[in-house]
Structure 1
Amino acid sequence: MVRDYGMEEPLFVILITFFILAWVSCLLRAWVKLGVTHKVTIDDYLMLCGIIFYTGYSASALCGVTHGIGTQGEGMTLDEASIGLRAWWICEMLYAPVTLSVRTSVAIFLLKIAVQRIHRRVIAVVIVLFWTTTIPLFFVAVFQCRPISYFWMQPFPTVPRGTCMDGHVIFIVSIVHSATSACCDWTLGILPVFMLWKVRLNVKTKLTLFILLSMGIL
């Protein structure tokens, strides 16, 4: 039986809210690509992969929340704790492919419309940076415990003992990834300003294009 742990938790509301926003955005993109421009490109397929991974991520996170993750764990059974931890392990595993798919999609879109060599080089550097920091994060998330199942079997005192990675390693990898991701997001968000700087358009049109091209920062 699933207890009503997460229904009143802010985390549950946040997960549902962003899941709905993500799908609304994705469906609007699909409508434009399929119904208006009639052209689907590689960045669209990457975004599709991103929403699929994010759906799995959200489902696992909601499962974890409804099994006590995010609470003090009072009254939680060992089975509930194990289910919640397994769901959270899946979340951590899926986080990397979600971010890679979405950021690569945005970067490739900007790369297609970038004309100057310096802008294309900046985008290429951004792609390399978040790939080289996200891939290690993925492997750390997946193999942080040996055996892997020990991550969610820890609550049971009778299971064979395992080992988990030092928390400081996970912390450092996460901080490096977060800092790099933030820098990459801001770079991709601000870059359209420089890409449009010398384009012969009126200020209103430039501002509109800048806002549209910079939405990837969200």
Structure 2
Amino acid sequence: MNDDNRGSMVSVSAIVFTALSIFTMLLRGYVRAYMLRSFGFDDWVMLLTVVLFVIYSVFALLGVQAGIGRPISSLTLEAASTALKNWWFCTLFYSLSSTALKVAIGSFLLRVTKVEVQVYILWAAMALSVAFGTSFFFFYLFRCSPFAAFWDTTGAVGGTCIPTVYLTNMTYAHAAILCVVDCTFAIIPSFIVRGLQINRRSKAVVCFILTLGAA
């Protein structure tokens, strides 16, 4: 597959995952609000996550129309500037949505566990996610001064940007933290069901459901 097709891959991914996110949120909302009557804090945060992800997807699709996914040599300066501007917004909203998602997952797991150690671990994981997610958001937001310097392709705006190496290091650190938090959220359900008085097969099913519900 050549470089010219990467834009279509981004578009398909954005559309598919946005549709799945909206569908699962509607299904979750119906079950929690009307069937269980227990629409809680985690559901509101998950709703916020979906909204942020939809905004991210909109900027991704606009960016593809401008040239994201195509070789830079094939773009005009104006198209490249528009693509970079949409990429800037994409990154910001991705950071917000991923942080909100961690809070939603952690809040969901807090509803089903009362073990003190697990509660502390979940709060720590959420705090870590919020701290690094917020740090990355503001780092990326203020990386260039003025903001338009990020997508300026003509030099007309001027301004300065923090060197890319610092952004790379920040991105790796953020990804590592998210990985640790994801692993924590994946492991916690197994400890939640360990003390239940049910057979091993039932525990495996409950653990799977909890993990799926968190995701």
| TM-aligned CA distance change 1:127 to 1:163, over 3 Å | same
1:192 aligns with 2:189: yes
Greater mean alpha carbon deviation, residues 8-17 or residues 78-87: 8-17
Q: Report the counterpart of residue 154 of structure 2 in structure 1.
A: 156
Structure 1 gap segments, 5+ residues each: none
Matches within 5 A, 1:103-118: 103-118=102-117
Count residues in correspondence. 212
Aligned-partner SS, 1:9: helix
Letter in 2 for 1:49: L
TM-score normalised by length of structure 1: 0.91
Deviations 1:159-190 (A, max 9, x none): 13111111111111111110110110111111
**Cα displacement string for residues 90-116 of structure 1 (whole angstroms, at most 9, x for unaligned residues):** 111112210121110110111122121
CA distance in 2 between partners of 1:63 and 1:145 (Å): 22
CA deviation map 1:18-60 (0-9, x unaligned): 1122112111111211231122111111001101110100000
Letter of the aligned partner of 1:65 in structure 2? V
Decide whether the 8 Å contact of 1:68 with 1:81 is kept in 2: yes
1:121 CA displacement: 1.1
Q: 1:211 to 1:101 in 2, by over 3 A?
A: same
What CA distance in whole angstroms lies between the structure 1 residues aligned with 2:45 and 2:132?
A: 19
Q: What is the aligned partner in structure 2 of residue 42 from structure 1?
A: 41
2:50/2:97 contact within 8 Å kept:
yes
User: Which one has a larger percent helix, Structure 1 or Structure 2?
Assistant: 2
Cα RMSD, aligned residues only: 1.7
Q: Helix, strand or coil for the counterpart of 2:38? A: coil
User: Residue 199 of structure 2: which of 199, 202, 208 is its match?
Assistant: 202
Q: Which moved more, 1:110-119 or 1:50-59?
A: 110-119
Is the 2:32–2:39 Cα contact (8 Å) retained in structure 1? yes
Quote the offset at 1:6 in angstroms: 6.5
Q: In the alignment, is residue 182 of structure 1 matched against residue 210 of structure 2?
A: no
* TM-score computed with the length of structure 2 as normaliser: 0.92
Query: Could you say which residue in structure 2 is the equivalent of 1:99?
Result: 98
* Unaligned residue ranges in structure 2 (runs of 5+): none
Amino acid at match of 1:168: V
C-alpha change, 1:6 and 1:52, in structure 2 (3 Å) is: farther
Residue among 172, 177, 193 paired with 2:169: 172
In structure 2, the residue matched to 1:24 is 23
